[in-house]
Amino acid sequence: MRHARRRIVRRVTRLAAVGGLLLGGAMVTQAAMASETPPAAVRALAAPTGTGDTGAALVARLGTARTAGSWIGADGRPVVAVTDDAAARAVRGAGVVAKVVAHSMDELKSATAALRSAPRVAGTAWAVDYRTNRVMVSADSTVSRDDWSRMSHLTAKIGDFVRMERTKGTFTTRLNGAQPILSTGGRCSAGFNVTDGQSAFILTAGHCGPAGSTWFADSQGNQQLGQTVSSTFPGNDFSLVKYASGTAGDGADVVAIGGGNGVRITGAADAQVGQRVFRSGSTSGLHDGTVTALNATVNYPEGTVTGLIQTNVCAEPGDSGGPLFSDGIALGVTSGGSGDCTAGGTTFFQPVTKAMTALNVKLIVSAQSAAAQNARNAQNSGGTAQSTAPSPAATQAAIAPSAVSPGSAAPVSGGPNETLLARLTDTRNIGPGLLVIAGSLIALVATRYIRAEQDRKAYQRYYSATWG
């Protein structure tokens, strides 16, 4: 009976080992086939010539005297603010929601112009709130009682559609993602990879450092990343850091969101009020919120910056320069704001389309994304769009970063924390298949060895009994 049980155990073990060999072989074959797919080259992508946004297109057609901006409603439909019934009928005829308001965009812009012409008060900011048809003026905790009183008198003269409000914290740049980049001036976050057709650069915030600043990927200063070759701040807030190697390397179209994951960037566009957006930074990681206003002006202690995207996404020191995106579309780089990611706050972003136009660079995206976007641009403009490639780089497989899915996500690999065990057990390569095969072979050899030992001992017992 005991011998029968042993035979059954050996047979089950051999069958399991053979099954393991077959499974491991299938896993290796599948991984090998996946790896044979040619890696897509990274292409350069300019800011789109037309966004295809119906609301924005209607505003442009009707003009700023009859409209007051557009935004995305709570139901996801575009809404256009209009000042007369004829304009409202034209908007509704295009299948878009119309909201009749009292003040046109021309009046709202006139109000912001009056605010800009007044003496500058550090710690204040203003932007047009399309949804309430107002100009909102914010003052942080550093604004004195006298300055608040003076600003209040000024807004009252402009009109009752200009409102004053106090905000928590202070309006500061977020110097100190998107991966961290460090210099003697502090720590910032890398934004998006761009190219001029010959070299690759990091597009980040201008206040992070003047031209000539040297950046490193580590706090010891051993891994030189590059050098700032162009910087604009205040007025605007963007700069270019040229890679020391001249290329951005693999995964140039991916921005980090933490946990070893990233989001693949497929294009660039202008933000829209009401749009859900995501921001990544080297200090606070990934956070989301909505765009609350456009063309915002902020009076930082270092100077005034205009034309910014205003959001309710939080940010903290060190997040400066980090990317703002939505559904894989680049929108802006972090400029500054108030509050933090514990209490919340307001954050402002430099639009990437404006920065890329001023710097004459293009966004680096995958070849497939570039082809699709250029085809859309060509269709919008009625012509043909072309792009050039600075260097080839492998695109990465899409995975879900977590419960949050801001866009197509890909793993950010090659970091210092990636161990040999992690690579061997990564189901995207042949490591797990080889481990299964090795384990099955060991099981087979072990069963053969045990069977041989048992036969040898049985023969010895038989020989001893016969010739003893």
Residue 108 confidence (pLDDT) above 70:
yes
Residue 358 confidence (pLDDT) above 50:
yes
The residue among 253 and 462 whose pLDDT is bigger is: 253
Per-residue tokens: 298: 């902020």
Residue 382 confidence (pLDDT) above 60:
no
User: 14-61: per-residue pLDDT in tens?
Assistant: 676 666 666 666 665 655 543 333 333 444 444 443 334 578 899 999
pLDDT average, residue stretch 101-105:
96
127: which strand partners?
136
Looking at 157-171, 287-301, 383-397, 406-420, which range is the least confident one?
383-397
Residues in the chain, overall count: 468
**CB within 8 Å of 8: residues ≥ 6 apart:** none
Q: pLDDT class for 309, splitting at 50, 70, 90?
A: very high
Residue 315 confidence (pLDDT) above 80:
yes
List Cα–Cα distances, 127 to 134, 279, 334, 368, in angstroms: 9, 20, 17, 37
- Confidence at residue 257, expressed as pLDDT on a 0 to 100 scale: 84
Q: pLDDT class for 383, splitting at 50, 70, 90?
A: very low
User: 177-201: per-residue pLDDT in tens?
Assistant: 356 788 776 788 889 999 999 999 9
Active site residues: 207, 237, 320
- Confidence at residue 416, expressed as pLDDT on a 0 to 100 scale: 38
Could you say which DSSP state residue 235 is in? B
Residue 175 confidence (pLDDT) above 60:
no
List Cα–Cα distances, 56 to 96, 112, 264, 331, in angstroms: 11, 21, 26, 16
